Amino acid sequence: MTPLHPAPDRERLRAKALELGFVRVGVTPATEAETFGFLESWLDAGMHGDMGYMARHRQARKHPQSLLNGVRSVWMMAWDSSFGHHPGGGSADTKQGRIGRYAWGMDYHVALKDQLKLLASWCQEQWPKMRTRGVVDTAPLLERDFARRAGLGWVGKNTLLIDPQKGSHLLLAGFLTSEEFEEDKPFTADHCGSCTACLDACPTGALVGPRLLDARRCISYLTIETKGPLPADDSVRQLMGNWLLGCDICQDVCPWNKKASRISLSSPDLPQPALQKPILQSVDPLWLLKASSNEIQELLEGRAWDRAGESGLRRNAVFVLVHLVKQAKSRDPDGEWACQVEKALEVCLENSDCAVSEAAQWGIKQLRSLGGLVKA
């Protein structure tokens, strides 16, 4: 006789998650996070910068019980954010600002949450007694800790989870359940070995040691999480390069990403949620300074960029433009384009947003210090 409430089946749940577009799926018991002590030291050292929510919810990260009462298993799932492109992808246009690849398509928070909701409904139909909670990024769960324990990969010296086949361009989601599942084998190997490519390549020295990120120096953090003016530290401002939003350098240099298998953009296997917004790898920063608020809101809609918002995007555009003008010095001897940049910065001096006006003030000073490039 078929039981009225069949026991949850680990392989059926895994197969369903893979069908929904996750590329790696594993499960581990819901116990205390192993790296909680490390998190505490990192927070105490202030390396989280302005991410106050990290400190505010510190205790909640100790145990997934804080997210689902009676939780017994933590499923970890990885979503491929590479959009079929290999390292070095992104615009080579010398007048464009680059976007970190996690943000090329639609807002992954929305895309992944939608898939987790579908998974939760499916579980409800299969096993009505099971309670679940899906979390993506913003919830207080030490995702990489649980992902390693669920067998998805190891935490590389660039602080990111690396799957031996897929590399590190992965977005992690957690799916907590009130049922116990047989655990997957934890990933115990460290395949970084003696490599230090990510530490060597980080332009701002944000990777202060293996697996130790000082977010206050990280371009990704500065362009996305920092509200208001960027820290005045010139050694960081000068080194941010053409990154408008995010930064992929410590991933692009990783040998595990160079050999990773990618889903092609034309493949029917590419999860459809990824394609609900056109892929944008770069944006013209000069356009960003001149665009109206409505035009920028249109650009932001449905993308993860609204974390930076209009203010952050315009501010970041100034730093990118200063970098690009410096790069263009030999290619644009009459400085026509640089003149347009300077004029746009002058307009920004009057911007009521102090993050933008302060950046413009700094930018104009930088351009004028170049001498001979910018017409008075």
112 binds ligand SF4 (CB under 6 A): no
Tell me the closest approach of the beta carbon of residue 348 to ligand SF4, in angstroms.
Answer: 25
Give the one residue of 28, 177, 220, 357 binding ligand SF4; rule: CB under 6 A. Answer: 220
Residue type, 215: A
Distance CA 160, CA 153 (A): 10
Q: Which of 257, 320, 254 minimizes the C-alpha distance to 283?
A: 320
Number of amino acids touching ligand SF4 (CB under 6 A): 23
Gyration radius (Cα) of the chain, Å: 22
Terminal alpha carbon distance of the chain: 88
Task: Write phi, then psi, for 238 (nearest 5 degrees).
Answer: -70, -20
CB 24 within 8 Å of CB 82: no
Judged by CB under 6 A, the chain residues 223 through 262 that form the site for ligand SF4 are 247, 249-250, 253-256
- Nearer to ligand SF4 (CB atom), residue 73 or residue 242: 242
DSSP per position, 220-270: HHHHHT--SSPP--HHHHTT-TTEEE---HHHHT-HHHHT-----TT-TTS
- Nearer to ligand SF4 (CB atom), residue 74 or residue 218: 218
Return the sign of the alpha-carbon dihedral for residues 229, 230, 231, 234: negative
Active site annotation includes 137: yes
Nearest residue to the partner ligand SF4, using Cβ: 156
Judged by CB under 6 A, the chain residues 176 through 205 that form the site for ligand SF4 are 192, 195-198, 202, 204
Tell me the closest approach of the beta carbon of residue 352 to ligand SF4, in angstroms.
Answer: 30
157 binds ligand SF4 (CB under 6 A): yes
Residue type, 100: G
366 binds ligand SF4 (CB under 6 A): no
Identified catalytic residue from 80, 93, 114, 137: 137
Give the one residue of 21, 26, 134, 156 binding ligand SF4; rule: CB under 6 A. Answer: 156
28 binds ligand SF4 (CB under 6 A): no
User: Among all residues, which ones are annotated catalytic?
Assistant: 137
Binding-site ranges for ligand SF4 (CB under 6 A): 156-158, 192, 195-198, 202, 204, 206-207, 213, 218-220, 247, 249-250, 253-256
